[in-house]
């Protein structure tokens, strides 16, 4: 149910669904994943850093 969860968050997070489904697998693993495990998968957008 990763796609449903990320789509519910919004803010273009759903663009990362394929990466997260492949790397993490299921929703429970996604919810308990630590930030350090996610660094290679999820990088902030450049315009978000400038703001």
pLDDT at 48: 54
Radius of gyration, alpha carbons of the chain: 11
pLDDT at 13: 80
pLDDT tens-digit profile of 7-34? 888 878 888 888 888 888 888 888 888 7
Confidence category of residue 45, pLDDT binned at 50, 70, 90? low
Determine the distance from the C-alpha atom of residue 42 to the mean position of all C-alpha atoms in its chain, rounded to a whole number: 6
Burial class (CB in 10 A: 0-12, 13-18, 19+), 17: middle
Question: pTM here?
Answer: 0.53
39, two tokens = 């660094």
């Amino acid at each position: 149910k990763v796609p449903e969860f990320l789509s519910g968050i919004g803010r273009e997070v759903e663009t990362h669904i394929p990466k997260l489904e492949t790397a993490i697998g299921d929703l429970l693993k996604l919810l308990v994943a630590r930030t350090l495990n996610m660094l290679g998968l999820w990088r902030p957008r450049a315009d978000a850093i400038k703001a």
